[in-house]
Amino acid sequence: MFIHQAIREVVQKANHTVQNISLLSGYLLLITTWSVIFILLAAFTEGWLAPWDTRPFRPPEGTWERTVNDFFEGSPGSLLPASLIVTMSIAAYLYGKVKKQSEDANLTWGFAILNLLFIVLIVPLSAWARQLPYKWLPQSSSTMNFGYQFTWLAITTITIMAITLIATQILMVLRQTKNADQ
């Protein structure tokens, strides 16, 4: 009887250690993916919503193109979309953790995997969406082959992907909290 009790305690401690390692690695991956998403979205924002920021000429002052470019060229505009998306993801995650009231790693790993999938998909899809307008629109030999007519598809693609990410995370939280209530 004593040997069975000792083995049971060792197995329980090993299970607890594995759970802690899983939770810790999930937290690490989740924080890393939030950071990468923030950096990517901030870079995309400045590149596509401020296309004239590195050009020697800009649209005339007072035009909508100049106003949008100037807003997203620097802080806080260049950080606004990234901040909103990451903050909404963090808020959904924290809501799920508070509602569930457990140290289960499923929600953490679910968010981390969705974030990782977003990162893996956003780079090639946004590059593809960025190049399509150059194939569609007539090209001139002037230096004016840039502007919002060349970035709108990439902006739309990233917006749809970000909305899908947040909606999926919210649905995951709602499903898990519903299951926890039952």
The tokens describing 35, both together, are 């950071």
How far apart CA 151 and CA 45 sit, in angstroms, is 10
Helix (H, G, I), strand (E, B) or coil at 168: helix
How far apart CA 41 and CA 72 sit, in angstroms, is 12
What pLDDT is recorded for position 141?
47
Rounded to two decimals, the pTM is 0.80
What pLDDT is recorded for position 58?
80
- Domain spans, the chain: 2-181
Q: Do the Cβ atoms of 42 and 133 come closer than 8 Å?
A: no
Q: pLDDT tens per residue, the chain (182 residues)?
A: 566 565 666 556 655 665 667 778 889 999 999 999 999 999 888 888 888 777 777 878 888 888 888 888 888 888 999 999 999 999 999 999 888 766 677 889 999 999 999 999 998 988 888 777 766 666 554 555 567 777 888 888 999 999 999 999 999 999 887 766 55
